[in-house]
Amino acid sequence: MFKKEVISKCPVCDHNLSITRLHCHNCEIEITGDFSLGKLNYLNREQLEFVLIFLKNQGNIKAIEKEMNISYPTVKKILNEVLLALGYDGVLEANENRISLQRNEILDKLARKEISFEEANNILKDLK
C-alpha cells in the first residue's frame, strides 16, 4: 500500500496543521490527542532537499554550490530562507540578507555576461 506524506500546512488558510490520531499497524492501537510536527516537517520540498544536501556536504558551501550547480549567493539565500522557515532568523535581517544576495546574484550574472549593464541597473533599482 502506498503511503502518503504528511502535509504540514492547511490547504485552505495556510496555517500549521497538527496530528490528532496515531495508529500502530502492528498491534492496532490508536492514540488520539493534539500532536505537533517537528520543525523540518514545515519546510517545503525544495527547502528540505537543500537541508539534506547541506547535511550530506557537512555545510561545505563550495561542495553545495557544485552539487546544486548554483552560486555562493544563491546557496546563502536558500540557507537564509530555510533558517527563516525554521524560525531562526529575524524577518528584517532575512530581508536585508535576501536583498544583499540578490544584488550579488545580479552582479554575478553581469560578470558572466548573462545580462546587460542596463538590465542589471534596472533590476538593482527595483530591489526592495
Whether 11 and 65 map to the same domain: the answer is: no
Asked if pLDDT for residue 48 goes beyond 60, the answer is yes
pLDDT-based confidence at residue 68 (cuts at 50, 70, 90): very high
Whether 75 and 98 map to the same domain: the answer is: yes
Which tens digits make up the pLDDT trace of 86-122?
888 665 566 677 778 888 888 888 899 998 999 888 8
The predicted structure's pLDDT at residue 127: 72
Alpha helices in 15-111 (DSSP H): 45-56, 61-68, 72-85, 91-111
Domain that residue 110 falls in = 43-126
Q: Decide: pTM greater than 0.85.
A: no
H-run or E-run covering 34: strand 30-35
Whether 60 and 97 map to the same domain: the answer is: yes
Whether 47 and 87 map to the same domain: the answer is: yes
Whether 85 and 105 map to the same domain: the answer is: yes
Whether 19 and 73 map to the same domain: the answer is: no
